[in-house]
Chain A
Amino acid sequence: KAGVTQTPRYLIKTRGQQVTLSCSPISGHRSVSWYQQTPGQGLQFLFEYFSETQRNKGNFPGRFSGRQFSNSRSEMNVSTLELGDSALYLCASRGGGSQETQYFGPGTRLLVL
């Protein structure tokens, strides 16, 4: 099976812009979670989607949003970018139900100037 894919891999934006990141989960996986990784805060949970519904949300401002499509692909959007949003954004997919293992993609490196 192909792994989790994320596009784009690298992105440079300026403050105030918005950005959309995409994640394609492992075939058959219905749960997609997003994490932010920074040197200062480490890996932090953003949100999880399952069957097109947000099931769980971390402590991030409303500028961070996401959605999931019927084919389980997910997008996350960050509006009004701030310098502190520069990070590696990781997507992880999971089979759902009792299947606990989350499989991570390579991430999208976002730099906000």
Chain B
Amino acid sequence: EDKVVQSPLSLVVHEGDTVTLNCSYEVTNFRSLLWYKQEKKAPTFLFMLTSSGIEKKSGRLSSILDKKELFSILNITATQTGDSAIYLCAELNNNDMRFGAGTRLTVKP
């Protein structure tokens, strides 16, 4: 069965730190790798990655995909308390999406 594995499961950092979240996948019929942020309620979309080696960037967040090694990373620089959330990665395979368990990031002042 296809599996999406995220690490670490939880992470505590201080404001200003840089963090790297990892996502590995094992899948056939791969279409895209996606990242979401979940605060109190519903997940919100961050990035969709389809091609290897092309970095997607939005402010202090960036992400890249390695289709040969089957992993993706999400980087957050100069973290703020507002970055505290669960970060979910998901693999889109044909028409369904499989999520990892998420990384719970806590940013302390």
Chains A and B form a bound pair: no
